[in-house]
Amino acid sequence: MNNKMIKNKKSQEEMVGFVLIIVLVAVIAVVFLGISLRKPSQTNAESENILAFISAVSEVTTECQISKNHLSVGELVSACEKSRPCDGGKPACSVLSDTLEEIMSKAYVVEMGSFRTFYNLTLSYIPENRPLIEPIISGSCKGSKIYNDKLFDLSFSDSKIKMRLEVCYEGE
């Protein structure tokens, strides 16, 4: 009988040890889960940066003047949609395209050694997705794209135009 009690005690001790190990592993798993959920997603942060960038771009003053007022990129989108020329006679769409190409080439450098491998800036009508100007593209994307959009409501028109910037980063 003494032998039987010793075996029961050992069994109970082993079960208690096993339960303690399982509880310890569960606590560690919950801690790691909590830490990983607190970290902001890199993709979401980059998407927000892209939105901030294209919002800022829409406020950039361009060389296009209409009635002696320099137009912002956002105003130039509307002038382009209406096929209006700038005061010097140059088409608004041409100035818009040149301005956006210059901004993108300076802000999003895509070359050997750069952490950005691709960008594609488009302006298109919603919902038909017809381009307002030719897309401004540089590089090639081998991974997933991160993007964001900005809508332009055109006054006195039923049209809406979407500016979309897609970017690929090294290692994405």
Each of the 172 residues of the chain gets a pLDDT tens digit; together they read 566 666 666 677 778 788 888 888 888 888 777 776 665 455 677 888 889 999 999 999 999 999 888 999 999 999 998 899 999 899 999 999 999 999 999 988 887 777 788 999 999 998 888 999 999 999 888 777 888 898 887 766 677 899 999 998 876 4
Q: Which pLDDT score, from 0 to 100, does residue 37 have?
A: 65
Q: Is 127 exposed, middle or buried (0-12, 13-18, 19+ CB in 10 A)?
A: exposed
The domains located in the chain, with CATH, are: 62-169 (3.30.1140)
Q: Which pLDDT score, from 0 to 100, does residue 121 have?
A: 94
Contact 148, 163 (CB under 8 A): no
Q: Is 104 exposed, middle or buried (0-12, 13-18, 19+ CB in 10 A)?
A: buried
Q: Which pLDDT score, from 0 to 100, does residue 131 have?
A: 93
Q: Which pLDDT score, from 0 to 100, does residue 52 have?
A: 92
**Bridge partners, residue 85, by sequence:** 91
Q: Which pLDDT score, from 0 to 100, does residue 126 have?
A: 86
Mean pLDDT across the chain, nearest whole number? 84
Q: In this predicted model, what pLDDT tens digit does every residue of 37-86 receive, in sequence order? A: 665 455 677 888 889 999 999 999 999 999 888 999 999 999 998 899 99
Q: Which pLDDT score, from 0 to 100, does residue 99 have?
A: 95
Q: Which pLDDT score, from 0 to 100, does residue 165 have?
A: 93
Distances (CA, A) of 122 to 43, 68, 83, 132, 154: 20, 28, 18, 8, 17
